[in-house]
Structure 1
Amino acid sequence: MPTVRNARGADLYAASEDEVRVLPIQSKALSKRHPVPLGGSLDTLRSQWWVITINANSDLPTCFVMSLSEVKAAARRGENAAGKVSYWLQPRDYDQPEYRNAWHRLGES
């Protein structure tokens, strides 16, 4: 179930067949294998699961399933000349075999 565009928090929710378990998921769709922007603070990241999709506009998208703790641990920090801080994930940090199309991980929580 997708959420409203640009809503804070999760972009979609996945539910078990019996609807007992509901998982909030943050989704990031990229047209190519680019860095994933995370914003100005890691403290504002909420969803326990993240799905990063590369080649999202193609016939062969690839998804990477990561936990929030993995996203935070892999996040890079940068600061521009004006002192504005930003965080992102480099492609080599999310494009790992253990995350690639690892939908089974969602059932592990």
Structure 2
Amino acid sequence: MVRLPLTPAEVERGQRLGALLRRARGERSMLDTALDAGVSPETLRKIESGRVATPAFPTIAAIADVLGLSLDEVWAEINQSDGEAEPSGSGRTARERLAS
């Protein structure tokens, strides 16, 4: 399977995600966080550094849970400045946008 190159917006979202996870992790070790989330420390390192800009949803959900972050917080942080938000009054929820 050939992966398409990431867009600049995807790269930026990945960097914001990594920064959010690093901040949330605080003084907690990367090893402990990764093991508690059921991912490898290398995977967590790559996500935090932005090298994996589009990690799998279950991976992010597990890491967020371990760090006490809601998925709403993660979504808001990574989509804060790239124009992803729907205009108010559009009537579409985030779940509906993802499903389309």
For Structure 1 versus Structure 2, the TM-score category normalised by the shorter chain is under 0.3
Q: What is the TM-score of this pair, normalised by structure 2?
A: 0.28
Relative to its length, the structure with more helix (as a share) is: 2
Using CA pairs under 8 Å that are at least 6 residues apart, name the structure with larger relative contact order, 1 or 2: 2
Relative to its length, the structure with more strand (as a share) is: 1
